[in-house]
Amino acid sequence: MTFRRPFYLYQSSRTIAVDLEGLREAINRVPFERFTIKLADGSSVSVNHPEYVAVGKRRAVVIQEDDSVCWLEPLLVVSLEWPSPKSKRGGNGSSKPRRDKS
């Protein structure tokens, strides 16, 4: 029997336990959103495009921007993190200048 420790998917304030299938889901999101894979040693791997990642039965591989290769063991993956969404202009807190009603 093989024990597979899940790694965690961080999005907003939610934490969801996932395995390599969760990584596949992150890659196949529509529309795709860039994310970072955080590893147990404190390093991180950026995923800027879904075609730069291949997920197998027991491990994953990420091709970096400089064409280097990063093999990922699921036991060493701590989390998947997405950048916080950019604030939208308009509405309350808008930085638009006020118009004088003259």
Helix residue ranges per DSSP H, the chain: 20-27
Q: Looking at the domain 7-81, which fold is it?
A: SH3 type barrels. (2.30.30)
What are the two backbone dihedrals, phi and then psi, of residue 92, each rounded to the nearest 5 degrees? Answer: -65, 140
User: Does residue 101 have a pLDDT over 70?
Assistant: no
User: Does residue 8 have a pLDDT over 80?
Assistant: no
Instruction: List pLDDT tens digits, range 10-56.
Output: 444 444 445 788 899 899 999 999 999 988 899 999 999 999 999 99
Contact 85, 16 (CB under 8 A): no
Annotated domain spans of the chain: 7-81
Prediction pTM value: 0.66
Contact 64, 54 (CB under 8 A): no
